[in-house]
Amino acid sequence: MLRHVPEGGLTMAERKPWSLNGILILLLLAVLGFFALFPLYALFLASLKPSQELLRYGLNVRWDLHLMTFKNYISIFSGTGAAKNYYLWYGNSLLITALFTLLCLFFSSMVGYGLAMYQFRGKAIVFVMVLALMMVPLEIILLPLYKLTVNLHMMDSVWGVILPFIVGPLPVFFFRQYAAGLPKDFLDAGRIDGCTEFGIFFRIMAPLMAPAFGAMAILQALGAWNNFLWPLIVLKTGEKLTLPIGLSSLLTPYGNNYDVLIAGSVLAIAPILILFVFFQRYFVSGLTVGGVKG
């Protein structure tokens, strides 16, 4: 005779009590979460204090209600003072991050998919070159990239920041590893149905690679959003600067606007948090599966 099971699952009497290991793991995760969120908490408190207080005591978690104010945020949103170009910096960073992430995912996924699914002459050499490029520091190729950007007349432009890195060795390697674990029978089935090679990729294989796209979207967007060195070399005009460069320009020998700098840094965290919320279900699975396939 079948027994009715409540909608919530098992009854209270059938549920296993908390084990000691489970409690210890929960406490450990709570402690790690506290240490991870504590810097954000300190940063937010600092953004509510005047610059003189920060210079005197530095970052601290003291609640001084008579000093705390939203004046720093008002200064940013009003577009006055040292951060008058903050909206432009924010918009430039959003544009560069969005374009770079989309283009990087598009081209890198196709390259990684091709290395995993197709057999062609020189395939092993190309893959070895990808692995070798992963070990080359950016500083070594800065001068050749700078000369190339100048020759292509892309200095002080969005494309000068984006184009040199849209096909990176890390995302190519990651997509190759993930695609190598997918059944190749899907390719044969698509060809039998009359689908083109591009159709097989976009209609069949790309949806199966959704966890890899989610994981790489977070990593590449985070790298583009925080990128400082290359945009600093390429961009010259004050209105075209990205957010990291613009915020760093608030610290000058003639005055340090720490209050506006910290408030702007707090607002700069928002896009990455939103992106992680949307793609967090793919992040762990994509990194785990993509790292062991192949």
Q: What is the pLDDT of residues 203-260, one digit of tens each?
A: 889 988 888 898 888 889 999 999 999 999 999 888 889 999 988 888 776 667 777 8
Determine what percent of the chain is predicted with pLDDT higher than 90.
Answer: 30
Using the predicted structure, report yes or no on whether residue 13 has a pLDDT greater than 70.
no
Q: Is the dihedral of CA 279, 285, 291, 293 positive or negative?
A: negative
Instruction: Name 241's Cβ contacts closer than 8 Å, sequence gap at least 6.
Output: 85, 88, 89, 92, 231, 235, 249
Model confidence band, residue 160 (pLDDT cutoffs 50, 70, 90)? very high
CA atoms within 13 A on the CB side of 130: 21
| pTM, entire model | 0.81
What's the pLDDT tens digit per position in 14-70?
555 677 788 888 999 999 988 888 888 888 888 888 877 777 777 777 777 777 778
- Give residue 92's pLDDT: 93
Write down the domain spans for the chain: 20-69, 83-292
Residue for token digits 């008058």?
84
Q: Residue 251's beta-bridge partner residues?
A: 256
Using the predicted structure, report yes or no on whether residue 294 has a pLDDT greater than 50.
no
Tokens at 37, concatenated: 């969120």
- In words, the CATH class of domain 83-292 is mainly alpha
- Give residue 289's pLDDT: 54
Instruction: Name 218's Cβ contacts closer than 8 Å, sequence gap at least 6.
Output: 275, 276, 279, 283
Residue ranges in the chain assigned as alpha helix (H): 20-47, 51-57, 71-78, 86-117, 123-133, 142-151, 158-162, 169-180, 185-192, 197-199, 206-208, 210-226, 229-234, 243-248, 258-268, 270-292
Task: Work out the average pLDDT over 78-100.
Answer: 85
- Of 1, 256, 225, the C-alpha closest to 104 is 225
Tokens at 248, concatenated: 């760093």
Task: Work out the average pLDDT over 103-116.
Answer: 93
Distance separating alpha carbons of residues 178 and 209, to the nearest angstrom: 7
What's the pLDDT tens digit per position in 183-210?
888 888 888 888 888 998 998 899 888 8
Residue for token digits 């210079």?
55
